[in-house]
Amino acid sequence: MRVLGIDPGLRKTGYAVIEKHRQGLFYMMYGEIGPDKGAPLSHSLMTIYNRLLDVIRETKPDCMAVEDVFYGKNVKSLIKQSHVRGVILLAGAHSGTPIFEYSPLEIKKAVVGYGRAEKSQVQKMVKAILNLTELPPLDAADAMAVSICHANFVKVVPV
């Protein structure tokens, strides 16, 4: 099973593709989509949408797992993050990829074992779980964590 994990963010949207086999979890690719600094919101959203469609076409995931909105105190940031999630969900739906959503608490608990873990703890656990040689960038690590979370929740036995 191939899972595309997404960590939505306007400045940087992290993405990661992992595969689940009987032997374990393996990463295929990861990265961050960073629209041009100071670009209008519409341009940033279009950049994220188009790049995700490219990743979907390139990797052909069986499903997409997306982090749900984090409820912070800054309403303006929450609204912008919701816009980003909207184009992410649209890209998945447009490509016919089944979409699953997980809260930050579920993701951290699945990867670190503690729902209030720090970003650096998630980053280190992702490196260990996927046997990476170096720490991935923070947003890409978060996307890997989303993928791992989904792979752990799925009851389908991989080939």
Q: Which residues are catalytic?
A: 7, 67, 139
Rg (C-alpha) for the chain, rounded Å, is: 15
* Owner of token pair 């980003």: 84
φ/ψ (deg, to 5) at 19: -120, 140
DSSP 8-32: --SS-EEEEEEEEETTEEEEEEEEE
Q: What does the alpha-carbon distance between residue 56 and residue 96 come to, in Å, rounded to a whole number?
A: 10
The three-class DSSP label of residue 63 is strand
